[in-house]
Amino acid sequence: MAPRFDIDLLMPVPMMPFVMDQLDQAFRVHKPWLAPDRDALLRQVAPDVRAIAAGGGAVLTADLMGRLPRLECVSSFGVGYDSIDATWAGAHGIVVTNTPDVLTEEVADTALALTLMTVRRLPQAERYLRAGSWLDKSFPLTPTLRGRTAGILGLGRIGKAIAHRLAACGLPVHYHGRHRQDDVDLPYHATPVDLAAAVDVLVVVTPGGAGTRHLVDAGVLAALGPDGILINIARGSVVDETALVAALRDGTILGAGLDVFADEPRVPQALLDLDNAVLLPHVGSATTHTRRAMGQLVVDNLLAWAEGRPVLTPVAETPAKG
């Protein structure tokens, strides 16, 4: 059966079956991972490709997009898009979309759970029980969430949802971002160091990319202090992992809860060896419900573009056009 649109679409990496099924029905989809020679396939289809469906793990550089002279639309799976050169795309009239909002609540839930797990040492307590140690004596008393102040580094959609949850737990919430938000009635701090010095739970929610690489460095960790907890559900690149390992080892901070890492899925052995680090395999939005909603938004953005309608969720760097 012929596709609905006379349009060539590149899918650099596999996506969820229901996404691929819908795109196969709508477009001529080129799947390099199935080709005997990926580069040869790309050279063959490059003159005709007008759209890209970018699944998780797809890296779209200016060089790659520049090899596709008819490229008009990139629909990306995920709220973060630091693996796509959206600035270059926008400058060349290519619209890039992501999947915000549909994962906000799920990621915020994960951030709250990770905060509780880290402060109360709940994974360590479960391992203690499974090892049979409870038969000998009770698990040691832990720190508490009570009396703490939380800081949100990056108060966007997800950051605000996390702030709402932490406030419901009785924590005062402060924030830092590129700009003070006039409609936000929370204490603002001009730098990450200032924010860390004012709080003892620091939740990292800022986008990844070159502009935020190692934003949380040794100085921020020192300001967070020996009772401080770092939670990162943003991007691994935002935190200097070497400085974090050192801070956890020497007591500069109390603990860390991490859902993201600099070189996923490879996690440094130095982090794996630390008992005061709670580590999750990037599961912030990883529920069937949310991932299906994200996948459907990838499809819906491409269909809107193909039909000449404005795309639903363009990123800030690119034009919102059909």
Predicted local confidence at residue 1, as pLDDT: 63
| 282 included as an active-site residue | yes
Residues 6+ apart with CB under 8 A from 243: 214, 217, 218, 221
Length of the chain: 322
Strands ordered across the beta sheet of 49-54:
28-30, 8-10, 49-54, 73-76, 95-97
Predicted local confidence at residue 4, as pLDDT: 93
Q: Residue 134 and residue 126: Cα distance in Å, rounded?
A: 10
Predicted local confidence at residue 320, as pLDDT: 61
Residue of 264, 289, 307, 309 marked active site:
264
Predicted local confidence at residue 318, as pLDDT: 85
Predicted local confidence at residue 321, as pLDDT: 55
Q: Which amino acid is at 92?
A: H
pTM (2 d.p.): 0.91
Question: What torsion, rounded to 10 degrees, do the Cα atoms 139, 143, 144, 146 define?
Answer: 150
**What structural domains does the chain harbor?**
8-102+289-306 (3.40.50.720), 104-279 (3.40.50.720)
Helical (H) or strand (E) element with 176: strand 173-176
pLDDT tens, residue order, the chain (322 aa): 678 999 999 999 999 999 999 999 999 999 999 999 999 999 999 999 999 999 988 999 999 999 999 999 999 999 989 999 999 999 999 999 999 999 999 999 999 999 999 999 999 999 999 999 999 999 999 999 999 999 999 999 999 999 999 999 999 999 999 999 999 999 999 999 999 999 999 999 999 988 999 999 999 999 999 999 999 999 999 999 999 999 999 999 999 999 999 999 999 999 999 999 999 999 999 999 999 999 999 999 999 999 999 999 999 998 765 4
Residue of 106, 235, 241, 291 marked active site:
235
Residue of 92, 213, 214, 282 marked active site:
282
| 264 included as an active-site residue | yes
Residue appearing with tokens 């590129």: 178
Q: Residue 12 and residue 210: Cα distance in Å, rounded?
A: 23
Predicted local confidence at residue 129, as pLDDT: 98
Q: Are 7 and 306 in contact (CB under 8 A)?
A: yes
